[in-house]
Every structure is written in structure tokens, then in C-alpha cells.
Structure 1
């Protein structure tokens, strides 16, 4: 089972530098120096056209200053030197996922000193799955993983911990030498989807700490949901629908956590109001079929679209696909 089959889009702090004002004649290293400088935060963004990013937000928590970076992932702020706490968030367009708080940390910013010694933490991952136990119960399992290290290369990373709520128990994560990731696996059994909803769907946290006490914290969501890029290769987007073959069929065999409900819709080409809609209830691992009565349809070319729902009523929607031109009322 590939570890990063369900990688979440994440951003990572890759470098910060402090520069004193160029027109300040005072020695930046003197004890009485109280000038301001530019704190440049660079964020490496991993995304795809299916999950567009609006912006990257860098928030200096102590000074209530923020800057909005573009897709190049660079934001520059003028801040006083001293202790700076920062937060990086990813702002996206997905209406069913809150903006992710990607990294939170603190470090003393001094003139001419970079923050290369701060630990780095990125590539947060939650991988989920469900198995039948054979006695009426289901087993839900998930693995959490993160890449972490020390930027200065001194090997002083103390470790990575995982916790599911502030103040809750912390779990140490084990470095997997094959993947280079710190990993931890969890599982529990449940009988109904309501009991699963009560356990999963919340924000979880990772913290990387080095031997000097510097640390960074990041968070993501653990949800038994699916991403469109996991489904893209599995959806039959070239399936022909015609009066002779009016059944649309899909067996989501490659989806780690299969959708539970499917909505199949037909649209007039270029129209966003469906002319035909069918909602099919299913269960994990079941196939999806819907038969369309073509006598209900006018003789125009239609487009079809699938909306896929998970147990939390989150959904993804496929792009519209053109129906075979033979699918007409004759």
C-alpha cells in the first residue's frame, strides 16, 4: 500500500532571513539597536489545477502583521527584530475543507542571522482505509506521516510527535529509512457510520523539535474521504451511453475509500441545470449503475457528471463528460 496514496496538498517553510534597513547607520549588532528589517518567508507550494490556491498567508502572530504571497510562495514583511512567531496558512477554493494551518513556529530574529537552524516539517500525510471484519463490524485504519529534519544539517532533530487534540496524549513517530518519513499507524473498529463520524473528521497536529528547543508545528485533517486525483484514472470518462446501451456503470476498484452515494446527472450542453438526476446509495466497495430512459430526452447532445459523497457528506464532482452523440430520442 503506497504510503503517499492520499497525500494532502501541503506547504512548507523553506527559509527565512532578516535584513536590516539599508539606510540605518547604526551598527545592527550593537546592544541598543532597535531598528526594523524585512523578514522574508519563502513557502514551497505543491498543488495541481484541481486544487487551485488563492494565496499563501504569512501571519506574524506577535505583531498582528500579515502578508499575502502569490503562487510563487514568497511573502515579505517589515518586522522588529527579536522574538518572532509566525503562522503560514494555505488558502484554497475547496468549499469542503477549511484553510489549512500549515506551519507554526517561533524563533529569535536577529540582524544578519538566518533561521536555517529551525527544524522543517512538511509533506503531511494521512492515509485511510476500511476493512470488513466479518462479524458485522468494520475496521477503520489510518496512517499519519510527515517529513522533518533540521535545516542546518547538523543532525540535531530530536524527533517528531503526533497528537489529535491540544493537551491530549502525544505519540512519538518512527523514522522509516525507506521513505524518509516519520510514521505512526492507528486503527479502531466501528459498527455504523455515525460512530465513525464521532471519531474522525478533526484537525490533527505534528510537532518537530530539535535538541535546542526550537520547534515547528503543523496540522492537517484526518478524514476517510477521497481526493479527485485519486479517482481520475478510475472514472470511465470514455464510456459510451446510447439507446442501445443506456446503462452507465462504474466499479470504483482503485479507490481506497469508496464513495457511499453517487449522483449521476445529465445536462444540456452548456447548461448547468440538470435535465436528469439519479441518486444511488451504496456501501463500501459496491459498484455504481444507473440506466437512463432515453425517451425522456430531446434529441440534443448531453453531458454527464458524477458527484461522489463520503460518509461526512463531503463530495467531489467530476468534470462534465460528453455523452455519445447517438444518445438521442428517435
Structure 2
């Protein structure tokens, strides 16, 4: 059972500031509340679209044209809360979406029904003996890297620390791509809640067809709550970025990298980003160098 409304309100105060203050009430949802853990947070029965719109737009970073307004928002505290949400949606023929980092350009997390906000599910376990890092999908790429740094290991994921770690479900282009491939190439297991609210641990050995499908189409097959991925020992590495305020610099930068033979060097990773706003248009060059530089 959920705590009283007063206890829920106190729990909500511990959430990130951007989530606070938008719900007009924190209250029970018949048929759902009694299935949730005592630490789950439920926002429901909003008095007006402006309040819920503020909540949703503060958490999604995609185009506002894709934003839909859910009628219920749940922040699960444990995996069983996710199962309860999926069961509730299934039982009531209710559309639902899943929110991780909020950067999905396809807008797959948007819904006018039940929104499951994963941001409280942030456990990370680094098993250096097995060479595996296991993390819940409420993490960001940045929080995953911070949790791994003391062990001096790196899990292939992505480039942007603010993006949800669940982004690896659709690829995961990162700075180790030359030597370790995409993040998705290194996933060894998924914890998945399917449409019938059952919890699966999916590996290539246990459920090979489902494992194959999850490698790229995970958003269509259920709610991934945990990922186990191979990690790699990291010694020296360096990184930085330079911003050029003239986009005409891009062809010259690419030519310089190719002329120096850097593009053929596995230890060297570069990513270019072109920004049109705010003006003037600019180019950012982000560089990561793995190793002590002896490759150069």
C-alpha cells in the first residue's frame, strides 16, 4: 500500500527540483495504488493541462510538438512498481509510455495515458571479476560513468552525459566504437517487463529470439529495467572539445584529421556537432584519446 498523502509529499520533496511542484495533487489511483510499493510516487488528477504540461515539458527534451499529456505519472521505486504499472495499463486498456533521460527524438515515451518515469531506478553494480557492469535504466550516461570510475573501467554507452543510459537500447555510439563497437554490441543481458507484467532476464542463451529482438527494437517489446554490459579496463585517457564559430571550418578540420592519419588510429575518437542556434552557426569538435599517446 502507498503511504498517506503527507508521507508521499515528503518523499516527493527528495526528487529533483524540476519534478517538484507541478502536480496539483499526489493521490491514490484506484486499482494501481495498492499494487505499488510504499516509496513509489504517483501524480494524478491534475486540475489543469498547464500544470501537467509543465511537468512533462520539464522532463522531455524532444520537440514540443511530440508532447502528449498523461493522466497519470508514476515514479517507480523498485522494479515491482514497473510491473504494477504495466499490469494496470494492460488491465484497463490504457496507453503508457516510459521516460528515461527524455532525449528520445522519436517521442516513444510520450503518452496521453500512464507515464512511467524511471529516474528513481539508478542502481549500478560493477563486477570487475566478471568484467560486467549492471545498471538500471533510470541512470544517465554520466551517472553510469561516475559509478564506474573508481574501478577504472568503461562501459561502451554514448557521448552525452545528460542522456539516459537507456539510449544504448537503440545503438549507443560512443568514444570506444573503433575498438569495442556500439554499446548494444556489448550487452549480455536485459531485465525486461513484458506486456503481461512478467519479469524476464533475457540472454542469448536463455531466450535467443527475444534477445535478438531487443538489440534495436527494445522499445517495442516491453520495458527494459536493467542492462548488463561488458566493460573494459581503462588506464590513461584524455578528452576535450573546441568550438569553432564558423561552420566553414568543418571541411578543413576533417581534411586535417585525415591528412594526419588520425582517422585510422583506433586510440583516437572525434565527433563533430553542428549547431545552428543560437546564431552564429558553429561547429564543436570533441576529441577522446585512449592510452598514453604512444600511438601517435
Q: TM-score range by the shorter chain?
A: under 0.3
Q: Which structure has the highest helix share of the two?
A: 2
Greater Cα radius of gyration, structure 1 or 2: 1
Q: Which structure has the highest strand share of the two?
A: 1
